[in-house]
């Protein structure tokens, strides 16, 4: 069991009476010594303000995280406060002060056993957040803090508007004879009491010579103990893109950038508090897959072998994100003027339950050996960069950029030219997929082609948005129809309301079809011609190793290294 903080004499635990989430709003100040502050509070006579002592507490707090700092990467701290018989587990969001005020979310839960391996399985709001975040990684003790807290309540004619805490905190740093001591003054107020407290807090800071604290106690303890939250990866390699690179170097730069986004959003995706983090992780995985597919001819066998794995991750992230979008759309409908609003609540509950099931599957995937292996393999591959002896990867990037963008646009035109208002939804969806691939291709090379690429990418994005909204409407219609047919738990009034909602999506899809021609026209206009000119200019006169290799290729069987696939072999017979 992880070590617990030493209990102080006269300990009075500050354990929450109820479980749940609260918002903490407080000013934090540094103090050389809190005793002069206490004397000022005891003696101050202020018109209209009452300051009353509220006792002294001694707090023992232990802070935990995983070896990979998942809590910290998600923007939370994990604190255990234990009084010997009962305790409080608190997850607290980290936030920088804004005009001297920190506003943080706290999720509290009473626990009966201080051992991390025990309390991570005790049901409650804090563990409900903690368990999916840490997954299979055990918690480890970071440090233990001992605090003597002297409390005061401050009130005006309307009642109590804040609590003042004078804290003297001891931070053990390995030498118990010379621990680090931290003196802080904190003024906690309800969110609606900030304006009432502001003048008093300014006076307190001035009279007691307090300076605003830029670090929380947790951050100060990290510094004192020499702990440094490690980034997921120290250096994956360069991510800049420029015209004199090879296509292999550009491909790796893109993969590094997107892989870093995938990893950076994993903790937030696990936590599930902000749907945008899952969205960002999924988009980054999708862009990685698009890059690996687009640049497949220029990547070695080792790199190409990872494409199925990133496709698996993308598919694991998809269902939860799709349900997030449907629930978000439904909430927009419920927020508007709709007579059948209450009738749609059971349908929303059904979607929430489905999302909960899909989220469990997603967490299982993120906890799997397959995902861990995916991360490890990319982390090992990306810093090495493309194999210098792999000829296809040495093509100058302007040549591939021109060929890729022109080919992607041609594929989209082949589909788009056939689309009319009477076209099947599948045709619109196929065009949407190709529009997405074209947009990604242009954005991948945007650092090289600058404004002309950015303008065309914007035009393609507008087309993609029309097609994407159309697909979302069609999916929502199909989802409503399917749930109405198979769900026996939905009342008749709900099914009728779902029918009305489906009709709204049908009308929206029809309106989006009418917008398609104008959005599609941008693919053939001046914006495209300007980009095409620049693509041709940059590629003109550059040598193409692909053609040179074809011209020099020996007859079949003439090389003793024949049959090695698309990887070269060095003098020692090892695949490069």
Residue 572 lies in a domain: no
User: Do 404 and 374 lie in a common domain?
Assistant: no
The whole-number pLDDT of residue 509 equals 95
**Residue 419 maps to a domain:** yes
Do residues 459 and 502 share a domain?
yes
User: Residue 190 corresponds to which tokens in the numbers above?
Assistant: 């309800």
Residues 388 and 408 in one domain: no
* 402 shares its domain with 386: no
**244 lies in the same domain as 359:** yes
**Does position 560 have pLDDT exceeding 50, yes or no?**
no
pLDDT digits (tens, 9 = 90+) for 385-440: 998 878 888 899 999 999 999 999 999 999 999 999 999 999 999 999 999 999 99
Identify the bridge partners of residue 77 per DSSP, sorted by sequence position: 92
The reply to whether 484 and 515 lie within a common domain is: yes
Rounded to 5, what percent of the chain is helix, strand, coil? 55, 20, 30
In a domain, 565, yes or no: no
What are 28-69's pLDDT values in tens digits? 999 999 999 999 999 999 999 999 999 999 999 999 999 999
Q: Which helix (H) or strand (E) holds 101?
A: strand 101-111
Is residue 15 domain-resident? Answer: no
Range of the domain at 300: 236-393
Total structural domains within the chain:
3
Q: Do residue 78 and residue 164 come from a single domain? A: yes
In a domain, 549, yes or no: no
Q: Alpha-carbon distance 447 to 439, whole Å?
A: 14
Residue 422 domain-assigned?
yes
What's 470's domain CATH number? Answer: 1.40.20.10
Over residues 341-377, the pLDDT tens digits come to 889 999 999 999 999 999 999 999 999 999 999 999 9
- For residue 450, how many other CB atoms are within 10 A of its CB? 10
Q: Which two tokens stand for residue 467?
A: 């097609």
pLDDT tier at 487, thresholds 50, 70, 90? confident
CA gap 212, 231 in Å, rounded: 28
DSSP three-state, residue 79: strand
Say what the pLDDT of residue 2 is. 40
């Amino acid at each position: 069991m992880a070590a617990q903080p030493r209990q102080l004499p006269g300990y009075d635990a500050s354990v929450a009476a109820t479980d749940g989430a609260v918002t903490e709003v407080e000013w934090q100040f540094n103090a050389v010594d809190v005793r002069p502050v206490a004397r000022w509070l005891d003696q101050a006579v202020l018109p209209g303000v009452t300051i009353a002592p509220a006792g002294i507490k001694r707090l023992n707090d232990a802070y935990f995280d995983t070896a990979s700092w998942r809590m910290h990467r998600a923007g939370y701290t994990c604190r255990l406060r234990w009084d010997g018989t009962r305790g409080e587990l608190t997850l607290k969001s980290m936030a920088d002060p804004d005009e001297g005020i920190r506003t943080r979310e706290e999720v509290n839960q009473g626990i009966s056993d201080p051992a991390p391996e025990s309390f991570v399985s005790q049901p409650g709001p804090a563990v409900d957040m903690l368990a999916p975040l840490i997954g299979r990684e055990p918690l480890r003790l970071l440090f233990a803090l001992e605090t003597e807290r002297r409390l005061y309540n401050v009130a005006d004619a309307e009642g109590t508007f804040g609590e003042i805490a004078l804290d003297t905190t001891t931070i053990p740093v390995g030498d118990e004879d010379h621990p680090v001591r931290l003196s802080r003054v904190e003024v906690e107020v309800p969110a609606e009491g900030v304006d009432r407290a502001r003048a008093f807090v300014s006076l307190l800071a001035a009279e007691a010579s307090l300076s605003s604290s830029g670090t929380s106690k947790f951050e100060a303890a990290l510094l004192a103990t020499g702990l440094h939250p490690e980034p997921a990866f120290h250096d994956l390699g360069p991510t800049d893109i420029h015209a004199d690179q090879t296509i292999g170097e550009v491909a790796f730069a893109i993969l590094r950038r997107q892989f870093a986004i995938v990893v950076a959003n994993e903790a937030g995706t696990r936590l599930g508090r902000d749907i945008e983090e899952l969205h960002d992780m999924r988009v980054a995985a999708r862009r990685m897959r698009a890059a690996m597919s687009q640049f497949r001819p220029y990547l070695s066998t080792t790199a190409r072998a990872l494409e199925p794995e990133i496709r698996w991750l993308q598919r694991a992230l998809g269902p939860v994100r799709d349900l997030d979008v449907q629930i978000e759309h439904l909430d927009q409908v419920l927020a508007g003027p709709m007579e059948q609003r209450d009738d749609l609540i059971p349908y929303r509950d059904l979607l929430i339950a489905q999302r909960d099931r899909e989220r469990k599957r997603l967490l299982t995937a993120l906890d799997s050996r397959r995902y861990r292996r995916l991360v490890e393999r990319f982390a090992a591959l990306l810093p090495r960069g493309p194999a210098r002896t792999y000829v296809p990867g040495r093509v100058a990037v302007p040549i591939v950029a021109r060929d890729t963008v022109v080919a992607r646009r041609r594929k989209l035109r082949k589909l788009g030219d056939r689309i009319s208002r009477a076209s099947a939804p599948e045709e619109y969806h196929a065009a949407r997929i190709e529009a997405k691939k074209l947009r990604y291709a242009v954005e991948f090379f945007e650092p090289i082609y600058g404004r002309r690429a950015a303008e065309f990418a914007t035009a393609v994005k507008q087309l993609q948005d029309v097609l994407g909204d159309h697909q979302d409407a069609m999916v929502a219609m199909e989802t409503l129809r399917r749930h109405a047919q198979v769900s026996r738990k939905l009342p008749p009034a709900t099914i009728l309301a779902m029918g009305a909602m489906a009709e709204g999506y049908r009308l929206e899809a029809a309106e989006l079809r009418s917008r398609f021609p104008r959005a599609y026209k941008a693919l053939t206009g001046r914006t495209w011609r300007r980009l095409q000119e620049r693509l041709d200019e940059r590629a003109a006169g550059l040598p193409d190793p692909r053609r040179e290799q074809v011209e020099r290729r020996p007859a079949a069987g003439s090389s003793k290294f024949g049959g090695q696939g698309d990887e070269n072999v060095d003098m020692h017979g090892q695949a490069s």
